[in-house]
Structure formats: C-alpha cells, structure tokens
C-alpha cells in the first residue's frame, strides 16, 4: 500500500509541477523582444505561474479520489489552501513589479480609460483579493460555511476567467499559435473541472441516494445514523475514512458536511455515522426519520489501519467524538478476526459522556486489546487515569518495545487535544512518522 501510494504521489506531484512550470516555458521560448527589461519578464512569469496554480486549484478541490488517495484528503485540502496563498502572492506581485519598473503602468488601474486587457487583469486581482480574504477570515467573520462555499466558487471562477482573458489579450507573450494552444488547454481543464464538480458529480450522487434506516441515541449527545443504499451495495471504504453527508437538500445545494464512517468496513448493506451535537447542522441530525433520503459522497481520507498492514502493534487515541473513526477500525478488526495487539487510550471530559464505552468493553473481549480511560473531570471515587493524557500515562499504558517502527498510532479528537498528545507521544519515544491524525480542517 505504501509503495503504491508513493509511486502514485510522485506521478501526480510531478504532473502538478510540470503544469505549474509550463507557463515559464511559454515565456522563455520563441522569438524575444531584445529591448524588453528583465524585470518585465520576471513580473509576467510570476503572473503566468500564479494563474496556472489558480486554475489547478479547481483540480485539488474537486475530490478526485484517484488524486486524493496517495496523500489523504486533509493533506490535499491543506495544500490547496497554502498553495492558494502562494499563488495569490505571485499574482499580486505581477502588477507591483510593473509599477516599480515604470510608474506609467499605474494608469492601467483606471478601469474607465485602460485597455480591456488591463481591465480584465485589474478585475481579476480584485476578485482574487476577495477570494483569499473570505477564505482566511471566514470563521472570524462568522460567515456560514454553505454561503462561503457558494461564493468562493463563483468568485474564483470569475477571477480565473478574467485572468485568462487578460492573458489572451497580452501581446507577444501569446503571439504564437502553440502558446495560445497551451492557455486554451488550461481553459479547457478549468471548464471541465467546473462542469464535473458542479453538474456531473452532483447528478451522479442524486442517482445513488441513501435511505435512513435507523437513528440511535448514544452517550455524550451523539446520534448514530444508519444508512442503506437505495439500490445495490453500500460504498466500500477503509476503516477510519469519512464521507460527506447531504441531508434535506440535493447535492447541488453545497450544504454538505464531513463525518467519519463509524461502522465496520466489512458490512456491505449499510453504513453508519455517529454525529455529536456541535452546531446548527448537527443539532438537527436527530430530526432525521427512517425513510428519509440523503446523499453520501465518499469515501475520503488516509486515516486508516489498512494503509499500514505491516504494523505489528496498534495504538488508538480517541478524544471525545474523535472516537468514531477509531470505532470503525476496532469494529472492522473484530469482524476480520484481527488479533494484533491493541492499546486504546480513550480521553473524555466526563465518564457519563464517554460515547460507546459499553461497546468498547465488549470489543476488549473480542480483540487482543487493552483499554485505558482518561477522564478530565472524574467523579468522586474514580479509580482510573484523570486529567489530560500525557507522556507519563502513555509510557505506563504502552509497552516500551512498541516504540520501534513496527507500531502505528492513530489519534483523533479536538485540535488542541491532538496538538498536545502529539507532543506527548514524541516525548514518550514515538517517532513522528508513526503518528497519524485525522483533522477535519477542510474549509
């Protein structure tokens, strides 16, 4: 699995670099104007490469499974965000360098008197500022995710379209047929991704709905939703992966939410999601009724034991509702008859809110598993570990020989908890490469 993902990752990474650098080939080849200042060429090269990255953003955000699998969806989304900021700086530097080169370029900022190629460019940069600003400050401004996602897509589409118009109208940088053909290729790729993500894929999801079969209340204000496909078998997934759920609306609505798949991957007739009441959408989950139609987009994610079949020992560290992907892995192991040694260090704020604790005890009997609870605010008389999970508790709970490369650690929970536990794991002696975490920072 690792070798396959490594090869696939190298192929996709190389292709991405090639597509990013191709605009520089356009700039450096063909007849050149000997009187053109080097700073002008450098400015244009930044704009070209920045725009190529912006066009490729529609690929990295399209949830193409064959593209995401080698890296993991969370890593692809993180890359999407960081490379977007880099592209913004490159594109924004393009006009700034022109102004440094010759102050007369400032006249192109006048949208009433500037030539159309400049108007296209100025409007594209204005929209780009809006796209990046909304993405970076969405949570601080309390912009609803659904509203932001719709306008993020609209503004990004308009921005790339205007930037392409700017390039097609830019003199000797696109003066040869093959140079124009390359930019037409980027335009076609951009349009194909737009059509796929906004029309084709939502239609595909609508043709394969899921039906709510059961709603179960769990400890900790958690609701488990059991879903069965309207036709055929349930989606195949690796234990620990997640999917996007759309309820009460169609896949065209952009009102989807990501949740871990909590059921065993060995089941082919249904899937389950266990969802904690943490916000506007999750508070309504309990209102779903058997027979309701929903839509599932998945599976996604690299957080799975199936990506590390060589592991001899497994350490699971769930915190709060981060237990859901861990439950999927444990349930799958139980059904597979997997007898590898397992340690589960389960952290919660209170004992009463410890979701799935009864099933955890049952799984302990089925697996070669030892279970340790860490309760932040225990009741009087609590005999187990209390407070926060730290390096000392890890050393007491995990055999020293597990610190070698034959053990893998799977960590999922609130971001502050994961940050602290990752440090504690390394203090206890685990290598960073052994630690795998699931972070739902997908927007």
Query: What is the average pLDDT value for the chain, to the nearest integer?
Result: 88
Map tokens 């999601």 to a residue. 273
Helix (H) or strand (E) holding 332: helix 323-336
Q: Quote the strand ranges of 205-323, DSSP E.
A: 210-218, 222-229, 242-247, 257-260, 271-276, 293-300, 313-318
Give the orientation angle of helix 116-137 with respect to helix 73-101, to 10 degrees: 140
Residues spanned by CATH 3.40.50.80 within the chain?
310-438
CATH class, 310-438 region: alpha beta
Residues spanned by CATH 2.40.30.10 within the chain?
210-300
pLDDT at 169 over 90: no
* CA–CA dist 153, 157 (Å, integer): 6
CATH class, 2-204 region: mainly alpha
Counting every residue, how long is the chain? 443
pLDDT at 441 over 60: no
pLDDT at 170 over 80: no
Map tokens 């389960």 to a residue. 346
pLDDT classification of 135: cutoffs 50, 70, 90: confident
Residues spanned by CATH 1.20.120 within the chain?
2-204
Instruction: List, for residues 272-323, the tens digit of each pLDDT value.
Output: 999 998 877 888 888 899 999 999 998 988 899 998 988 999 999 999 899 9
Instruction: List, for residues 209-242, the tens digit of each pLDDT value.
Output: 999 999 999 998 999 999 999 988 889 999 999 9
Structure tokens at 250: 């169609």
* DSSP sequence for 163-203: HHHHHHTSGGGG-SHHHHHHHHHHHHHHHHHHHIIIIIHHH
From the centroid of its chain, how far is CA 265?
A: 21
pLDDT for residue 354: 92
* CA–CA dist 364, 411 (Å, integer): 19
Classify domain 210-300 at the CATH superfamily level.
Translation factors (2.40.30.10)
């Amino acid at each position: 699995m690792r070798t396959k993902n490594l090869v696939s990752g190298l192929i996709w990474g190389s292709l991405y670099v090639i597509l990013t650098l191709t605009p520089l080939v356009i700039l450096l080849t063909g007849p050149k104007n000997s009187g053109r200042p080097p700073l002008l060429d450098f400015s244009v090269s930044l704009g070209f490469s920045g725009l190529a990255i912006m066009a490729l953003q529609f690929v990295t955000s399209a949830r193409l499974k064959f593209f995401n699998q080698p890296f993991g969806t969370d890593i692809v989304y993180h890359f999407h965000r960081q490379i977007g900021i880099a592209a913004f700086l490159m594109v924004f530097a393009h006009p700034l360098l022109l102004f440094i080169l010759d102050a007369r370029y400032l006249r192109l900022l006048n949208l009433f008197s500037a030539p159309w190629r400049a108007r296209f460019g100025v409007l594209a940069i204005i929209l780009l500022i809006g796209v990046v600003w909304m993405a970076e400050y969405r949570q601080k401004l309390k912009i609803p995710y659904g509203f932001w996602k719709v306008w993020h897509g609209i503004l990004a589409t308009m921005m790339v379209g205007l930037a392409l118009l700017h390039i097609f109208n830019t003199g000797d940088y696109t003066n040869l047929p093959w140079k124009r053909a390359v930019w037409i290729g980027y335009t076609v790729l951009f349009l194909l991704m737009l059509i796929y993500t906004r029309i084709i894929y939502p239609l595909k999801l609508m043709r394969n709905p899921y039906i709510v079969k059961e709603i179960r209340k769990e400890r900790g204000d958690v609701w488990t939703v059991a879903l069965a496909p309207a036709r055929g078998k349930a989606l195949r997934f690796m234990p620990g992966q997640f999917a996007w759920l759309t309820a009460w609306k169609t896949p065209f609505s952009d009102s989807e939410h990501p949740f871990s798949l909590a059921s065993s991957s060995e089941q082919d007739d249904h899937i389950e999601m266990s969802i904690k009441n943490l916000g506007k959408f999750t508070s309504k989950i309990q209102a779903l009724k058997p027979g309701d139609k929903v839509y599932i987009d998945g599976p996604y994610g690299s957080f799975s034991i199936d990506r590390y079949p060589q592991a001899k020992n497994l350490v699971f560290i769930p915190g709060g509702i981060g237990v859901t992907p861990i439950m999927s892995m444990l349930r799958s192991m139980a059904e597979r008859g997997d007898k590898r040694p397992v340690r589960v260090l389960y952290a919660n704020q209170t004992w009463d809110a410890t979701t799935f604790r009864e099933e955890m005890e049952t799984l302990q009997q089925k697996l070669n598993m030892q279970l340790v609870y860490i309760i932040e605010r225990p009741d009087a008389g609590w005999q187990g570990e209390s407070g926060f999970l730290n390096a000392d508790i890890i050393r007491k709970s995990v055999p020293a020989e597990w610190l070698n490369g034959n053990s893998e650690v799977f960590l999922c929970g609130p971001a502050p908890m994961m940050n602290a536990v990752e440090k504690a794991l390394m203090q206890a002696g685990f290598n960073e490469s052994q630690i795998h975490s699931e972070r739902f920072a997908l927007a």
